[in-house]
């Protein structure tokens, strides 16, 4: 009898895991944004090219996961000279490190539509564990019959942790560029058939 109960539990878990849908990130309806201090203000930028997938099932947070790759050369702060500098060896060194990546390890502290997304972030060849605040947008069908799901992940990293240490000292003694970088990932995906 115990074996039968264990078998039924395993089958139920397998069916539940199989029900989790995989979505391809839709770059036309997603954005990868960052913000960092510059002098006394802030500069906002984005990466224009990225791809990835995520798995989502509303009632099964243990099945939620994501993996994405970002083209480092697609950095865009709307200032061509600054973007050229950011692609150089002073910052992202895109010739040597052409991509940034994120792979989730688990989702924790789920409360309604909010949770913590934990994972490994790789920038400039350095991989660090990060925790992002996650807001689930849910899932719905678009006018063309595609099932879509969305989430927003936000967090803060220290760029120096990833070897991005370039700076310039101001005559007042302060630094030109701040160390803390705020991240906002607004992601929408289309369910894979």
Helix, strand and coil in the chain, % to nearest 5: 20, 55, 25
Residue 83 pLDDT: 97
Cβ neighbors of 177 (< 8 A, separation 6 or more) are 36, 37, 38, 166, 167, 168
> Using CA atoms, how far apart are residues 84 and 156, in angstroms rounded to an integer?
24
Q: What is the pLDDT of residue 174?
A: 76
Tell me which residue of 12, 137, 10, 126 sits closest to 64, measured CA to CA. 137
CB neighbour burial string for 90-122, b if at least 16 within 10 angstroms, e if fewer: ebbbbeebebbbbebeebeeeeeeebbbbbebb
Q: Which residue has the tokens 């006018």?
A: 143
Which domains are delineated in the chain? Answer: 20-191 (2.40.128.110)
List of the chain residues with pLDDT < 70: 1-19
**58: helix, strand or coil:** coil
CA pair distance 179, 169, nearest whole angstrom: 13
Q: Are 47 and 71 in contact (CB under 8 A)?
A: yes
Query: Is the separation of the CB atoms in 89 and 72 below 8 Å?
Result: no
Tell me what pLDDT residue 19 has: 64
Q: Length of the chain in residues, anyone?
A: 193
CA distance 13 to 31: 34
Q: How many CB atoms lie within 10 A of CB 142?
A: 12
């Amino acid at each position: 009898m115990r074996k039968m109960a264990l078998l039924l539990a395993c089958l139920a878990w397998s069916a539940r895991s199989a029900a989790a849908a995989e979505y391809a990130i839709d770059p036309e309806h997603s954005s990868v944004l960052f913000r960092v201090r510059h002098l006394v203000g802030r500069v906002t930028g984005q990466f224009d090219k990225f791809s990835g997938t995520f798995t989502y099932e509303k009632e099964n947070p243990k099945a939620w996961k994501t993996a994405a790759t970002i083209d480092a050369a697609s950095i865009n702060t709307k200032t061509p000279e600054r973007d050229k500098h950011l692609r150089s060896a002073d910052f992202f060194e895109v010739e040597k490190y052409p991509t940034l990546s994120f792979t989730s390890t688990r989702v924790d502290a789920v409360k309604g539509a909010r949770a913590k997304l934990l994972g490994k972030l790789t920038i400039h060849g350095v991989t660090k564990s990060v925790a992002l605040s996650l807001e689930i947008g849910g899932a719905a069908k678009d006018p063309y019959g595609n099932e879509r799901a969305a989430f927003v992940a936000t967090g803060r990293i220290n760029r120096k942790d990833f070897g991005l240490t370039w700076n310039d000292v101001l005559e007042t003694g302060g630094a030109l560029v701040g160390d803390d970088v705020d991240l906002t990932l607004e992601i929408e995906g289309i369910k894979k058939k």
